[in-house]
Amino acid sequence: MSKQPTDSDKQIPKAVRIGLPLIGVVGLLLGLYFLIGGGMLIARGGSWYYLLAGLALCATGVQLARRRSASVAIYLVFLIATALWAIWEVGFDFWQLNTRIFMFSMIGMLLALIVPVLRKGEGKTPACGKAFGIAAVLAVVNAGFVYGMFVPHGKFGAESSPPVAGTAGTGDWTAYGHSAGGDRFAGFAQINRDNVKNLQVAWTFHTGDTPLSPDGGGSEDQETPLQVGKTLFLCSPHNTVIAVDAASGAEKWRHAFPTQTTVWVRCRGLAYFDAAQPLVQPTVAGSTPVSAIAAPGDSAACRRRIYMNTIDAKLVALDADNGKLCDDFGDHGIIDLKAGLGKAKSPLYQLTSAPTVAGTTLVVGGRVADNVSLDMPGGVIRGFDVMTGKMKWAFDPGSPQDHAAPTTGKSFTRSTPNVWAPMTYDATSNTVYMPVGNAAIDLWGVKRTALDEKYGASILALDASTGAEKWHFQTVHHDLWDYDVPMQPTLIDFPMDDGKKVPALIVGTKMGQLFVLDRLTGKPLTKVIEQPVKPATIPNEPYSKTQPLSVGMPQIGAEVLKDADMWGVTPIDQLMCRISFRGMRYDGLFTAPDTDYALSFPGSLGGMNWGGLSYDPNAGMIYVNDMRLGLWVHLVKEKQRGGPSDGNEAVNAGMGAVPLGGTPYSVTKDRFFSPLGIPCQKPPFGSLTAIDLKTRSIAWQVPLGTVKDTRLYGVQMHMPTPIGMPTIGGSLTTGGGLVFFAATQDYYLRAFDSSTGKEVWKARLPVGSQGTPMSYTIDGKQYIVISAGGARQSPDRGDYVIAYALPQTH
């Protein structure tokens, strides 16, 4: 016989009588989740908050199921305690407070609204005023949280200062990083902070090459074009070189280089040489002179040349005026870069960065696929005559004193550290500066040679004419993390404490470090310490006891994680991240991989990566973008050593166990993400940072990118929340006091005030970009150009090159 409603029950509408027990059950289940998860966290040495929260939520759920107003009282006490705990744990960091409080305060607001109904059912006065007052207060709190989700949270400069005038950076964009020194600085000031809001599309060009990369290891557009005179030179992901009119976007010529390669396909840039220009000889005492060349006559073809590395390891020279191969270069315009490497099929050996013109030497490195096999092509760096293509020298990290090509039947030393990122040239000393990677297997170093250990993860300075070593500086000892130096060094004039300026270079690393080195000696100009680090337990692994840390410059996104740094969209996934974090071995920046689960933060993607820095020489400022992605690594003992992978680096996003050929292990790697596919540590996940070289401190730091175009489980979020997303590519700074950036996860090109970090303009792109913006002036009109082929992790792809300019005035 069913229970009849009491008189007090009749005070509650039937829908509420039925609904409250159901809500109570949901509250009970939520409480049990926190109770069980909190117990697991305590067992791993974590916070007691979640277990106590689970008890409070269970009590709330039970009382709601009984339709008792005490449920709301219990919940409000829990909510107040949560707010106090959150402030105690993380202070007033917005995103940290948001994840701890917002979900619970929303629930509290709704519960407060039903207090009058519950009290009526208990035969009590409704207390509408108090209930609705509490709901109103929580509504204001929630409104504040919602508002804060759409406001960038960072460190901003106080006020704009006028751009510093100067003559730097007003030439053509003739090298990958604008200048041979990699400054990414265009000194033109026609587009400035005041009028940038008026920028509009001047022209759009379609390359006809849409990159496809379903797993992040396929084809991607990451180019920065060149500009010489009135011509813009493009390279598409599949190695089609295109010349267009820089003012109109009209195509002049194209030359395609078809390839069957499908893994890690991209072209980041080109190189340019004009044989009619006088040679620039070094001015630093003791420097080797730039070699003379046999320049073609005035009417000869290929006086101006465009060079490209193809993804299948060819070095090609094209006539910049018509796109035809230069017949006098190599074998009718082409050099096979696999010569002398032994077994080096694509994609195990590829070219992913532009060649470097260093005086009259064309210098190339090469990407050797990571973590495939102990037997891989060598990372030899070679210098070729810019006109004939004849090899002038080779620097073999396994035989650094021998600069000749291997004799017949021999090859350059196998599996040596390689240079896959762009290089930098200093004409004042005729020196090439190279960011060096590691030997073939990053995660297991038992069989590395003494020379592998010497050159791995270092900056290497070579004489551009002879290939002789001048110096090298190591950024990681015995690297087991894939912390190769990922970016082009940038040449700067570094202000010292005594007011003098020293010719220097600065380079960022995947570990969030910035190293400032004297160009002539390679000695650090700011403080670098040797930080003691903990080893792991892999047998016979010669772990380094210390690692270099650049403490004299800001460290970007490289703080040591702690429990309180774990994050989630809600407390639900935040708890899961805290449990995961406590379940891994984590000793800070250099946590060595082992057969357990080791957390590396930043992971092998960075930190900073190949996009490089931009440098305003007039203001003495550098601008750095970074991503903050952790990576967990698990080595698995292999009874049967499997064959090598195909060199696809999408393993960094999780591909199951990948065999490390020739070693006793395979590896499983994945990003340190919550179940929702969001980084487990607190935002931002990507930022733009301005650093004052005089004070060696951060001037401002702002989040880069929103979640507007991010997809969770295939659903686009559409929320312009400026949380700061992982970035790839680099920034452009200009004489107009602006920093341009496009390589975020959302589809925008943005401009920031270079003094304050405030966003002053943005333009919606048809798809995302992984490129670096560039700028030039034609007939007195300044253009900003970006290549947009699709953001990393995005299914939306295109073949766009877009130029922006101010509207024509009459």
In this structure, is residue 521 part of a structural domain? no
Same domain, 731 and 765: yes
Same domain, 191 and 248: yes
In this structure, is residue 93 part of a structural domain? yes
The model's pLDDT over 277-327, given as tens digits with 9 standing for 90+, comes to 999 999 999 999 999 998 776 667 899 999 999 999 999 999 999 999 999
DSSP code string of 91-134:
TT-HHHHHHHHHHHHHHHHHHHHTHHHHHHHTTS---HHHHHHH
Same domain, 106 and 196: no
pLDDT of residue 792: 83
SS3 label, residue 606:
strand
SS3 label, residue 576:
helix
Which of 515, 519, 510 is CA-nearest to residue 527? 515
Enumerate helices (H) and strands (E) in the chain, giving the number of each: 8, 42
Same domain, 134 and 233: no
Residue 5 — pLDDT band, cuts 50, 70, 90?
low
Same domain, 172 and 196: yes
In this structure, is residue 757 part of a structural domain? yes
Instruction: Work out whether strand 304-309 and strand 271-274 pair parallel, antiparallel, or are unpaired.
Output: antiparallel
The model's pLDDT over 215-244, given as tens digits with 9 standing for 90+, comes to 667 889 999 999 999 999 999 999 999 999
In this structure, is residue 429 part of a structural domain? no
The model's pLDDT over 612-643, given as tens digits with 9 standing for 90+, comes to 999 999 999 999 999 999 999 999 998 655 55
Radius of gyration of the chain (CA): 29
Task: Say yes or no to pLDDT of 651 above 70.
Answer: no
Contact 757, 225 (CB under 8 A): no
Look at the chain and count its residues.
810
pLDDT of residue 348: 84
In this structure, is residue 543 part of a structural domain? no
Number of domains in the chain: 2
Same domain, 168 and 112: no
What's the whole-number mean pLDDT along residues 464-473? 98
Distance, CA of 621 to CA of 618 (rounded, Å): 8
Residue 609: phi and psi, rounded to 5, are -140, -155
Instruction: Work out whether strand 185-186 and strand 732-734 pair parallel, antiparallel, or are unpaired.
Output: parallel
Q: How many CA atoms lie within 13 A of 43 on its CB side?
A: 9
Angle, vertex CA 433, rays to CA 331 and CA 514, nearest 5 = 140
Question: Which of 148, 173, 201 represents a domain boundary (last residue)?
Answer: 148
Question: Which of 120, 148, 176 represents a domain boundary (last residue)?
Answer: 148
What's the whole-number mean pLDDT along residues 84-113? 96
Mean pLDDT (the chain) is: 93
Same domain, 238 and 172: yes
The model's pLDDT over 370-386, given as tens digits with 9 standing for 90+, comes to 888 899 999 999 999 99
Q: What is the 3 state secondary structure string of 663-688?
A: CCEEEEEEECECCCCCECECCCCEEE
The model's pLDDT over 128-174, given as tens digits with 9 standing for 90+, comes to 999 999 999 999 999 999 999 999 999 998 887 888 878 888 899 99
In this structure, is residue 270 part of a structural domain? yes
The model's pLDDT over 448-460, given as tens digits with 9 standing for 90+, comes to 999 999 999 999 9
Which of 29, 27, 32 is CA-nearest to residue 64? 27
In this structure, is residue 34 part of a structural domain? yes
385-415 burial by CB neighbour count: b if 16+ within 10 A, else e? bbbebebbbbbbbbbbeebebbeeeebbbbb
pLDDT of residue 317: 98
pTM: 0.95
Residue 690 — pLDDT band, cuts 50, 70, 90?
very high
Same domain, 27 and 97: yes
H-type helices in 411-500, by residue range?
Answer: 450-455
Same domain, 139 and 65: yes
Task: Say yes or no to pLDDT of 474 above 80.
Answer: yes
DSSP code string of 618-669:
TTTEEEEEEE---EEEEEEE-SS-PPP--S-GGGGG--S-EE-BTSSEEEEE
Contact 701, 689 (CB under 8 A): yes
What's the whole-number mean pLDDT along residues 167-195? 95
Residue 2 — pLDDT band, cuts 50, 70, 90?
very low
pLDDT of residue 9: 57
Estimate the share of the chain in helix, then strand, then coil, as percent rounded to the nearest 5: 20, 30, 55
Which of 346, 348, 398 is CA-nearest to residue 372? 348
Question: Which of 119, 148, 177 represents a domain boundary (last residue)?
Answer: 148
Q: Structural domain of residue 229, as residue ranges?
A: 160-275+686-810
Task: Say yes or no to pLDDT of 722 above 50.
Answer: yes
- The domain that contains 233 carries what CATH number? 2.140.10.10
Task: Say yes or no to pLDDT of 700 above 80.
Answer: yes
Same domain, 116 and 75: yes
Percent of the chain with pLDDT over 90: 81
Instruction: Work out whether strand 738-741 and strand 231-235 pair parallel, antiparallel, or are unpaired.
Output: unpaired
Q: Which of 482, 484, 594, 746 is catalytic?
A: 482
Is 482 noted as a catalytic residue in this protein? yes
Same domain, 65 and 172: no
Residue 18 — pLDDT band, cuts 50, 70, 90?
confident
Contact 770, 221 (CB under 8 A): yes
Contact 226, 174 (CB under 8 A): yes
First to last CA, the chain: 90
Same domain, 31 and 68: yes
In this structure, is residue 739 part of a structural domain? yes
User: Which amino acid is residue 92, in one-letter code?
Assistant: F
Residue 21 — pLDDT band, cuts 50, 70, 90?
confident
